Amino acid sequence: MKIRWRLRMAAAQREVWTGTELRRLLAERAGLELSAASVSALLTKEPTQIKLSTLIALCTALDCTADDLFEIDTTPVEQIAPSPRPVVSEPKTATARGRSMPPM
């Protein structure tokens, strides 16, 4: 499964083309003041995490839902099977007292 961040597309569909416009809408409609760098990062990069308050503000400012901001691809991701562990031979007795050495 893959989640894609679609803020730029959602903003463009609502005629919001720049970070400055989005910043203004966030302040006016949602009361959220974000730095220009933060808005730019939201528009250009896929966030690894997002505060719920920021998500709500984006939805309020753009008059959209979270479904408009995220695209979820439910195609199963092929998982790589773990490689089998090497078989360890029995420890060999190495001392006169019969103590075994740990496996190599």
**What is d(CA 67, CA 46) in angstroms, rounded to the nearest whole number?**
15
- 4 domain residue, yes or no: yes
- Ramachandran bin of 54, using left for φ above 0, alpha for ψ from -120 to 50, beta for the remaining angles: alpha
pLDDT band at 14 (very low <50, low <70, confident <90, very high): very high
| Boundaries of domain holding 64 | 1-70
Full 3-state SS string of 67-101: HHHEEEECCCCCCCCCCCCCCCCCCCECCCCCCEC
What is the tens place of the pLDDT at every residue in 26-63?
Answer: 999 999 999 999 999 999 999 999 999 999 999 999 99
Check residue 70 and give its pLDDT: 94
Give how many domains the chain has, as a whole number.
1
- 40 domain residue, yes or no: yes
Check residue 4 and give its pLDDT: 93
- Residue pair 49/13 in contact by the 8 Å Cβ criterion: no
- 96 domain residue, yes or no: no
**What is d(CA 54, CA 103) in angstroms, rounded to the nearest whole number?**
55
- 104 domain residue, yes or no: no
pTM given for the model: 0.70
- 50 domain residue, yes or no: yes
- 17 domain residue, yes or no: yes
CATH classification at residue 5: 1.10.260
